[in-house]
């Protein structure tokens, strides 16, 4: 293997070196002891006693492969991408696709502000009058919610808006109101914070509406906290044995259109995106069910299930575009408790929740590109299994 640069993510031959060697290289790069890195990734990283404190009725822990994919460049920064996943070939495919995107300048990512919504259901009879009273008290309600989390306020976050939606129908057919409290949760995923704020304002809403409240819980359709990724793959980077580069490009565009036209295909297309995204989310101890729920709800938002990532021809090259909600955090929950999660955040050098969202979404796009390329050419079994077999045979 060529010498590992101190900060680059191009690691030629990374898949050829032994697992111990990879641990040593990561430790060297992060300035950590080899034993420290090994302890965080071997045996699942988490001690049974820590697991016992994390959730209930624990017997022990459950291990999954912890890998690091090279080649990613995101907004001009070289990034090593930690991935936790049980499926063979996903990591190799991500690395492969990241290299193609790198040839076109890397992933270009934009993240929305970290705004999460807490829903409070209000069973108001006179919905119009209740809406007017709630909106008139907006400043008080925001202040009441802000008081719940002074630390968040000191960090520049806190409630930023409050909206009221009328929902028709319901058990008695007369509908209800839903108050959306919008909160800037900074670098947290934010579930606990917004749920606590929702519960804090519920009694005030009951007074204003003269009616009981119902559910008080965040919405996992985090469509105010989206991440957008753009990428360009130069034509020559699509060249592969037995296929013209233009044939590969057009095949990927055609596969994208298939997903845009058919929800049955879109579901599988999005599953391929989530192969990469979930692996990063899981590696960092984040709530991957929340990301999945947001992704699928967003994909179906227009009334028809759509692909989260699409591909088009741009001149001679291939251009990809991905958009999805990404409610993730780098503080709170398991992110700071699980040694493997802490290491994953250090490896990718995530300094904010937005950094983590950018990496997770880029990994999703990479896996989508790799899957479509294989599907449009030699077929997934041959294509992906070849990648997996290559790293297996050479490592021993
Ligand atoms: C397999 O885990 C994912 C794929 O099915 C994705 C796709 O079909 O686009 C290969």
In a domain, 90, yes or no: yes
Residues 107, 127, single domain; the answer is no
| Ligand 1 centre distance from Cα of residue 371 (Å) | 6
User: What is the spatial distance between Cα 37 and Cα 26, in angstroms, rounded to a whole number?
Assistant: 8
| Ligand 1 centre distance from Cα of residue 72 (Å) | 20
| Catalytic residue (one of 7, 28, 36, 87) | 87
pLDDT at 385: 72
In a domain, 8, yes or no: no
Residues 212, 268, single domain; the answer is no
380 lines ligand 1 (CB under 6 A): yes
Ligand 1 atom nearest to 269, measured from its CA? 9
pLDDT at 1: 42
Backbone angles phi, psi at 244, to 5 degrees: -75, 145
Q: Of 218, 252, 284, which closes a domain?
A: 218
Higher-confidence residue: 388 or 363? 363
Does the annotation count 180 as an active-site position? no
Closest CA to 114 of 365, 358, 363: 358
73 lines ligand 1 (CB under 6 A): no
Residue nearest to atom 1 of ligand 1 (CA): 272
| Substitution site in 271, 276, 385 for ligand 1 pocket (most atoms within 8 Å of beta carbon) | 271
| Ligand 1 centre distance from Cα of residue 277 (Å) | 13
Band (pLDDT 50/70/90 cuts) for residue 396 is very low
DSSP code at position 303: S
Question: In which domain, by residue range, is 181 found?
Answer: 115-218
pLDDT, tens digit (0-9, with 9 covering 90-100), for 250-299: 999 999 999 999 999 999 999 999 999 999 999 999 999 999 999 999 99
Query: What stretches of 234-346 adopt beta strand conformation (E)?
Result: 309-314, 317-325
Which residues lie across from 323 on neighbouring strands? Answer: 228
User: Is residue 119 classed as helix, strand or coil in its secondary structure?
Assistant: strand
Residues 44, 76, single domain; the answer is yes
Residues 105, 123, single domain; the answer is no
pLDDT, tens digit (0-9, with 9 covering 90-100), for 307-362: 999 999 999 999 999 999 999 999 988 888 899 999 999 999 999 999 999 999 99
- Of 46-55, 118-127, 375-384, which gets the smallest average pLDDT? 375-384
H helices then E strands: how many in the chain?
14, 10
Residue nearest to atom 4 of ligand 1 (CA): 272
Does the annotation count 199 as an active-site position? no
User: What is the spatial distance between Cα 137 and Cα 130, in angstroms, rounded to a whole number?
Assistant: 11
385 lines ligand 1 (CB under 6 A): no
Does the annotation count 287 as an active-site position? yes
Cα dihedral 84, 88, 89, 90 sign: negative
pLDDT at 395: 38
265 lines ligand 1 (CB under 6 A): no
383 lines ligand 1 (CB under 6 A): no
Band (pLDDT 50/70/90 cuts) for residue 387 is confident
In a domain, 172, yes or no: yes
- Of 244-248, 252-256, 268-272, 379-383, which gets the smallest average pLDDT? 379-383
Ligand 1 atom nearest to 374, measured from its CA? 10
In a domain, 199, yes or no: yes
272 lines ligand 1 (CB under 6 A): yes
In a domain, 131, yes or no: yes
pLDDT, tens digit (0-9, with 9 covering 90-100), for 124-151: 999 999 999 999 999 999 999 999 999 9
222 lines ligand 1 (CB under 6 A): no
Residue nearest to atom 6 of ligand 1 (CA): 272
Q: Of 218, 240, 269, which closes a domain?
A: 218
The CB density around residue 232, as the number of other CB atoms within 10 Å, is 19
pLDDT, tens digit (0-9, with 9 covering 90-100), for 13-36: 898 999 999 999 999 999 999 999
Band (pLDDT 50/70/90 cuts) for residue 69 is very high
pLDDT at 7: 64
In a domain, 88, yes or no: yes
268 lines ligand 1 (CB under 6 A): yes
Higher-confidence residue: 102 or 385? 102
In a domain, 7, yes or no: no
269 lines ligand 1 (CB under 6 A): yes
Does the annotation count 296 as an active-site position? no
Domains in the chain, number? 2
| Ligand 1 centre distance from Cα of residue 272 (Å) | 4
Residues 334, 237, single domain; the answer is yes
Q: Are 62 and 56 in contact (CB under 8 A)?
A: no
Q: Of 178, 202, 218, which closes a domain?
A: 218
pLDDT at 5: 57
Residues 231, 124, single domain; the answer is no
pLDDT, tens digit (0-9, with 9 covering 90-100), for 163-175: 999 999 866 677 9
Specify the CATH number for the domain of residue 58: 3.90.770.10
| Ligand 1 centre distance from Cα of residue 271 (Å) | 6
Q: Does residue 220 surpass a pLDDT of 60?
A: yes
| Ligand 1 centre distance from Cα of residue 200 (Å) | 43
Q: HSE-up of 2 (CA within 13 Å, CB side)? A: 8
In a domain, 258, yes or no: yes
Backbone angles phi, psi at 204, to 5 degrees: -65, -40
pLDDT at 171: 61
| Ligand 1 centre distance from Cα of residue 367 (Å) | 9
pLDDT at 393: 58
Band (pLDDT 50/70/90 cuts) for residue 391 is low
Specify the CATH number for the domain of residue 146: 3.30.70.420
| Ligand 1 centre distance from Cα of residue 96 (Å) | 15
Average confidence (pLDDT) over 180-189: 98
267 lines ligand 1 (CB under 6 A): no
Closest CA to 80 of 91, 64, 65, 89: 91
- Burial of 81-99, coded b for 16+ CB within 10 Å and e otherwise, reads bbbbbeebbbbbbbbbbbb
Mean pLDDT, the chain, whole residue set: 94
């Amino acid at each position: 293997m060529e010498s590992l640069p101190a900060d680059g993510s191009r690691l030629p031959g990374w898949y050829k070196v032994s697992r111990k060697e990879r641990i040593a290289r990561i430790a060297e790069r992060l300035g950590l002891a080899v034993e420290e890195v090994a302890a965080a990734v071997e045996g699942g990283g988490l001690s049974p006693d820590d697991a016992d404190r994390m959730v209930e009725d624990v017997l022990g822990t459950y291990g999954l492969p912890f890998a690091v994919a090279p080649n990613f460049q995101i907004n001009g920064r070289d990034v090593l991408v930690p991935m936790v996943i049980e499926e063979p070939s996903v990591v190799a495919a991500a690395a492969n696709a990241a290299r193609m995107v790198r040839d076109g300048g890397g992933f270009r990512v934009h993240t929305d502000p970290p705004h999460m919504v807490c829903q409070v259901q209000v069973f108001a009879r006179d919905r119009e009058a209740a809406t007017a009273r709630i909106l008139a008290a907006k400043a008080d309600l925001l202040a009441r919610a802000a008081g719940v989390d002074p630390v968040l306020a000191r960090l520049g976050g806190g409630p930023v808006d409050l909206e009221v939606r009328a929902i028709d129908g319901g058990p008695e057919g007369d509908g209800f109101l839903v108050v959306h409290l919008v909160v800037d949760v900074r670098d947290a995923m934010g579930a606990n914070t917004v749920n606590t704020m929702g519960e804090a304002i519920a009694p005030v809403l009951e007074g204003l509406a003269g009616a009981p409240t119902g559910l008080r819980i965040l919405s996992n359709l985090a469509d105010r906290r989206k991440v957008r990724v753009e990428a360009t793959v130069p034509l020559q980077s699509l060249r592969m044995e037995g296929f013209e580069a233009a044939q590969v490009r057009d095949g990927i565009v055609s596969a994208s259109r298939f997903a845009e036209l058919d929800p049955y295909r879109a579901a599988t297309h999005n599953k391929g995106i989530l192969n990469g995204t979930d692996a990063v989310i899981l590696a960092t101890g984040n709530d991957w069910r929340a990301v999945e729920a947001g992704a699928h709800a967003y994909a179906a938002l227009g009334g028809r299930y759509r692909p989260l990532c699409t591909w088009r021809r741009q001149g001679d090259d291939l251009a990809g575009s991905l958009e999805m909600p990404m409610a993730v955090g780098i503080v709170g929950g398991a992110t700071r408790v699980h040694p493997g999660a802490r290491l994953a955040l250090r490896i990718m050098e995530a300094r904010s929740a937005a950094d983590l969202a950018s990496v997770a979404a880029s990994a999703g796009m990479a896996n989508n590109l790799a899957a479509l390329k294989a599907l449009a050419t030699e077929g997934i079994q041959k294509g992906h299994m070849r990648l997996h077999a290559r790293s297996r045979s050479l490592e021993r």
